[in-house]
Amino acid sequence: MTYPVTKSAAAAPKGDVRATHVGRPHASWALPGVLFFTFFAVVPMALAVYLSLTDWNGLGDPGFVGLENWKNLFTDPQLMHSLLVTVLLTVVSWAFQTVISLLLGVWAAGKQRNRAVLSAIFFVPFLLSSTAIALLFFALLDPNYGVVTGDTLGTTSGAFLAIVFVGAWQFIPFHTLIYQGGARQIPEVLYQAAAIDGATGLRQFFSITLPQLRHTMAMSGVLMVVGSLTYFETVLILTQGGPGTDTKILPYLMYEAGFRSYDYGYASAVATFLVIAATGLSLLLVRVTGFGKMNSVREGM
Amino acid sequence: MSHRSNDRTPSRRHWTKRSNPIAGLASFVWLLIVLIPLYAMITTSLAGPEEAIGRNALTPPKNPTLDNYGLVLDSGFSHYLWNTTLTAIGVVVIVVCLSVPLSYVAVRNRGFWAGGAFRLFLLGVAIPAQAVVVPLFLLITKLDIYDSLWAIILPTAAFAMPVSVLVLTGTLRDISEESYEAMALDGASPTRMLFQLVIPLAKGGISTVIIYSALQAWNNFLFALIFTQSEEPRVLTLGLYNYVSQFGVNIPALLASVVLSGVPIFVVYLVARRALVSGLMGVGGK
């Protein structure tokens, strides 16, 4: 490609060079952030794998024991039970929270005054910390002094549903907000076109709103899955894994093994297992929804 | 919330202005689900000891008293609140200072390492903080910061970074190539672009990151439970948890502590609801 040699055109390629090389930050600017995250999140993950091969009681140095913790883990009937409870809790919470926050969020995306007022109230539970919310329901559900009569937390299904409900009560405001934001970004022209074609409100919801919200669903879904793996304080405060071991989710099993029985090796095996499960689940969600290719949310329009 | 004037002209009504009775009814049901526990919390927290047992929570107490609140305030509440505030400030400062340049690189530097850094954080979203407490416990003791606020601040900041980076890269992608080119033609260095172009245009994303990471600090319980033990670095969430054993069956006092813990952030919500809500909305991405 040749350029006529005039003053202005000669300046242009020089400008391009600046834009592609000089104007771009050096990759080393990312280094502090990457190192910090690696040190406090990635290294501990690797360390968890190492500790799971050792026998460590928190004092002294960890001693190598090979796969013993893993053998114990996979022969421990409690593990399968905890895994089942964790998966069940995650799936039920995800389904419950997604349906409600999707409906509330799309509804709240309207600009009517009453919707704005209700949205402002819906948000209030999210202002309390998870600990405060767990304590609130611990108090309200106390069989002797609480305000809900009956021993809700003493039955298996009651305790399980209480955890699902408390998690939903806390996080639905947040996910409603995410869906509200997502719904407001759907171009109005899509609905106008659909209305001209005679599509009903319900049809518009399934053909426009839902597909347009798939990135929102992916992000909110990943946050819900990771979030429900972390219902640790809810379980600790509300049920302590009970009745019996019926609500002992994996993080709680790990906490008990490590910080109550001081068997950090075994706790690390549970933790490693948890990381693998969480990463696998999130990767699956990312793949299913195409979230990784998030160059433009409006692609294909 | 004020209406834009053109919302009132029927010809330019937004599609979402349609009414939807079924969704309206459902949202009314959810309103009750939200309000009843909050109402029971406040009325019970005002009940005196003689009314605490076997009271119907839906009726206000006959002799409301603020004694429960006094008891909570005398039990170290303000000290815990102060520690939580310090923790939140520390977490926000670390997350913003690290994730802004990182996201700038991830968006603007097309190189191998920049792409790798972005993918690291994309995967990092899925790492549950719970899963690494045991090895973190080892690191924290080796760093000699066990039982200090740093033991809470550093890991909390690290685990707030993946979502922050995702939010920020989403925001930064919207800055047009032309804006960078215009500045490059003026001979601007990447540093000047960061401060004069990227940061001003990414204000929305940065406020989302501030709010998100402050909330992570505000909510953090597990790190506080495991990495601190003494009264000195005790944050609000752990303080509340300890009230369970301290107050025993004094349910009204326990609920008073829950109410009090909500007051500071409720005030923030009243003052800056718009900023808070639109900031959090940003977590869902653009």
Contact (CB<8Å) B258/A42: no
Q: Please report the pLDDT score of residue A146 as a whole number.
A: 67
Instruction: Give the pLDDT mean for A88-114.
Output: 89
Domain extents in chain A: 77-293
Q: Please report the pLDDT score of residue A73 as a whole number.
A: 86
User: Looking only at Cα atoms, what is the longest distance across chain A?
Assistant: 91
Q: Please report the pLDDT score of residue B38 as a whole number.
A: 92
Interface test with A, best of B34, B132, B255, B271 (most A CBs within 10 A): B132
| CB-based contact, A37 to chain B, within 8 Å | yes
Confidence category of residue A153, pLDDT binned at 50, 70, 90: confident
Instruction: Return residues 166-225 of A near B (CB < 8 Å).
Output: 169, 172, 174, 177-185, 188, 191-192, 195, 201, 215-216, 219-220, 222-223, 225
Instruction: Give the pLDDT mean for A83-98.
Output: 90
Residue B6 has pLDDT above 80, yes or no: no
Distance CA A133, CA B251 (A): 14
**Residue pair A166/A238 in contact by the 8 Å Cβ criterion:** yes
Instruction: Give the pLDDT mean for B120-137.
Output: 83
- Which CATH superfamily does the domain covering B76-284 fall into? MetI-like (1.10.3720.10)
Which comes out higher in pLDDT, residue A145 or A214? A214
**Residue pair B221/B234 in contact by the 8 Å Cβ criterion:** no
Q: Please report the pLDDT score of residue B206 as a whole number.
A: 92
Which comes out higher in pLDDT, residue B14 or B228? B228
Q: Please report the pLDDT score of residue B178 as a whole number.
A: 87
Q: Please report the pLDDT score of residue A80 as a whole number.
A: 87
Interface test with B, best of A147, A149, A166, A234 (most B CBs within 10 A): A147
Tell me the torsion sign for CA atoms A189, A190, A192, A197: positive
Helix or strand holding residue A46 (H, E): helix A43-51
Q: Please report the pLDDT score of residue A276 as a whole number.
A: 84
- Which CATH superfamily does the domain covering A77-293 fall into? MetI-like (1.10.3720.10)
Q: Buried b / exposed e across B126-145, counting CB within 10 Å, b at 16+?
A: bbbbbbbbbbbbbbbeeeeb
Which comes out higher in pLDDT, residue A222 or B230? B230
Q: Please report the pLDDT score of residue A298 as a whole number.
A: 39
Q: Please report the pLDDT score of residue A22 as a whole number.
A: 56
| Average pLDDT score, chain B | 85
**Residue pair A298/B146 in contact by the 8 Å Cβ criterion:** no
Instruction: Give the pLDDT mean for A79-106.
Output: 90
Distance CA B63, CA B93 (A): 46
Residue A300 has pLDDT above 70, yes or no: no
Which of these, A181, A45, A62, lies nearest to B279 by C-alpha position? A181
Distance CA A231, CA A166 (A): 9
Instruction: Return residues 73-102 of B near A (CB < 8 Å).
Output: 94, 98-99, 101-102
Residue A6 has pLDDT above 50, yes or no: no
Residue A234 has pLDDT above 70, yes or no: yes
**Residue pair B184/A19 in contact by the 8 Å Cβ criterion:** yes
**Residue pair A129/B219 in contact by the 8 Å Cβ criterion:** yes
Instruction: Give the pLDDT mean for A158-176.
Output: 92
Which of A73-82, B13-22, B112-121 is the least confident region?
B13-22
Residue B54 has pLDDT above 50, yes or no: yes
Q: Which chain A residue's Cα is nearest to B164?
A: A33
DSSP string, B172-240: HTTS-HHHHHHHHHTT--HHHHIIIIIHHHTHHHHHHHHHHHHHHHHH--HHHHHH--SSTT--HHHHH
Give percent of chain B above pLDDT 90: 38
Instruction: Return residues 107-136 of A near B (CB < 8 Å).
Output: 107-113, 115-116, 118, 120-125, 127-132, 135-136
Give percent of chain B above pLDDT 70: 89
B144-176 pLDDT, tens digit each: 999 999 999 999 999 999 989 988 988 888 888
Q: A206 burial class (0-12, 13-18, 19+ CB within 10 angstroms)?
A: exposed
Q: Please report the pLDDT score of residue B249 as a whole number.
A: 76
Confidence category of residue B57, pLDDT binned at 50, 70, 90: low
Which comes out higher in pLDDT, residue A34 or A63? A34
Q: Is the peptide bond before B162 cis (omega within 30 degrees of 0)?
A: no
Q: Please report the pLDDT score of residue B103 as a whole number.
A: 92
**Residue pair B173/B182 in contact by the 8 Å Cβ criterion:** no
Instruction: Return residues 227-286 of B near A (CB < 8 Å).
Output: 236-238, 240-241, 243-244, 249, 251, 254-255, 257-258, 261-262, 265-266, 269, 273, 277-278, 280-286
| Alpha helices (H) along chain B | 21-45, 67-73, 77-108, 112-124, 133-142, 150-172, 177-185, 190-193, 199-201, 203-219, 222-227, 236-247, 251-271, 273-281
Q: Please report the pLDDT score of residue A242 as a whole number.
A: 77
Q: Please report the pLDDT score of residue B82 as a whole number.
A: 95
Helix or strand holding residue A161 (H, E): helix A156-184
**Residue pair A90/A161 in contact by the 8 Å Cβ criterion:** no
A57-70 pLDDT, tens digit each: 877 777 888 888 89
B255-273 pLDDT, tens digit each: 999 999 999 888 888 888 8
| CB-based contact, A87 to chain B, within 8 Å | no
Say yes or no: ipTM exceeds 0.95: no
Type of residue found at B109: N
Q: Please report the pLDDT score of residue A145 as a whole number.
A: 67
CB contacts < 8 A (A, B): 355
Which of these, B280, B281, B285, lies nearest to B122 by C-alpha position? B285
Which of these, A148, A122, A138, lies nearest to B34 by C-alpha position? A122
